Amino acid sequence: MTEITFIPDSQIPEASEGKVREFEQLLGARLPDDYRNYLLRHNGEMPCKTDYWMPGEKNWIESVAEMYALIPADHPQSLNQFIIEDYGVPSGWLPIANSGYGDFTVISLLEEDQGTIYYLFHEEHGYDPTERDRGVYRLASNFNVWINSLQELSKNGQS
């Protein structure tokens, strides 16, 4: 599998090891290594391929519209906003991307499934912070598997 490339964004500053550690302190958890490396190398940059099939669904293609970054909390693309405000995401899960339609892609920070990537479908999940099943789709075992599985799909579902 070829490693995915990212589209540079001059509006987002690079993240330093110090900024990542500071964020982890605020979060109260260490980020999975592959996601930490993404932040250090790409910090919020969009992958060049953004589409994926939803697991267990025949005709549902989803896309990444925005990746979150280590930037000031008042910016809509900031990871820090999820520490400051309650978005109804279950504790131990951190939004890392959104679909542009109100759905989050999250990474688990919990010991039992650390690094697992999930999709929260807001129409089913309702952003109930206690809900870990309804409207939750497991996308990948870790960030690298998920990001490298993204494709560029046409509307008829073909690459």
What is the predicted pLDDT for the residue at 157?
A: 54
Helical packing angle, 33-41 and 17-27, nearest 10°? 130
Query: Residue 95's closest CA among 65, 114, 118?
Result: 118
What is the predicted pLDDT for the residue at 158?
A: 58
Phi and psi for 31 in degrees, rounded to 5? -75, 145
For residue 87, the one-letter residue type is Y
By the 10 Å C-beta count (0-12 exposed, 13-18 middle, 19+ buried), 42 is classed as: buried
What CATH number matches the domain at 6-149, 3.40.50.970, 3.40.1580.10, 3.40.190.10, 3.40.50.1370?
3.40.1580.10
- The helix or strand, by DSSP H or E, that contains position 81, with its residue range, turns out to be helix 81-84
159 residues of the chain, pLDDT tens digit each? 567 899 998 889 999 999 999 999 999 999 999 999 999 999 999 999 999 988 888 788 899 999 999 999 889 999 999 988 888 899 999 999 999 998 999 999 999 999 999 999 988 888 888 888 889 999 999 999 999 999 988 655 555
What is the predicted pLDDT for the residue at 123?
A: 87
What is the predicted pLDDT for the residue at 33?
A: 98
DSSP of 95-149 = EEEE-SSS-EEEEE-SGGGTT-EEEE-HHHHTT-TT-SSTTEEEEESSHHHHHHH
The DSSP bridge partners found for residue 98 are 66, 104
Residues across the chain: 159
Task: Tell me if the pTM is above 0.75.
Answer: yes
Query: Residue 149's closest CA among 70, 39, 61, 42?
Result: 61
